[in-house]
Amino acid sequence: MAKTATEIRDTVKILLGGDTVVGTGKVWETTELDELITQGLKKLPPRQEKYTLTVAAEGKTVDLSSEALQDLLPGFSGFTSPENSVAVEFKVDQTPIQLRNFERFGNTLHIKLSYKMAAGDSLYVYCRKYHVLSPASTLTPDIEDLLERWVEANALMMKSNPRIGQVANNNNEVTNYFQIGAQKLALVKAELSALARIPSYIEYPES
């Protein structure tokens, strides 16, 4: 079962060794960890969603102003094949699948077709969106693990001075939290890079 934001924060605290930074008297503040979790969600490989849109009037455009389509990922500069929309399918449910190129102008999606769509026609928009933890988490266990370790690494770096970064604990053992955090972050970034997909432009037929 997917974790809640509170459960992810609790796991991060376990990774960090408890509620306080060993040897410093500093506390892992809930607000700080929650902010890192929010930032970390945007560092994860995006989730993919499929939406069915209905053509309101005969033409080559469709409206994107529905609430579900308001938190799409930022796209490329310009309007052609934005990163947040993988593809548009029209006509739907055909074999082979009929994917189309498009341009987005604000909340209007212009489909590159050699003919007009009819009012009432349906099309599918395949989107890339940030992961969320509420109202229901979209994270799988492996992605949860990456998020927790990303937050842990950044928390370690945040609590230490990069020029000093050394804190003696009660046993006078010196720990460089910044260095440890940077090493952990490098490992997480390598795993995220391995999962990343580079968007590419494909020219689909218009007929």
Sequence ranges of the domains in the chain: 5-43+133-195, 47-129
Its pTM stands at 0.75
Question: Which residues on neighbouring strands pair with residue 104, listed in sequence order?
Answer: 109
Contact 82, 76 (CB under 8 A): yes
**Using one digit for the tens of pLDDT, what is the confidence trace for 79-102?**
333 444 567 899 999 999 898 888
Contact 126, 158 (CB under 8 A): no
Which pLDDT score is estimated for 60? 94
Task: Provide the CATH number for the domain formed by 47-129 in this structure.
Answer: 2.40.30
How do beta strands 99-100 and 102-105 pair? Answer: unpaired
**Using one digit for the tens of pLDDT, what is the confidence trace for 100-134?**
888 877 778 889 999 999 999 999 988 778 888 98
Under the banding of pLDDT at 50, 70 and 90, the label for residue 174 is: very low
Which pLDDT score is estimated for 80? 36
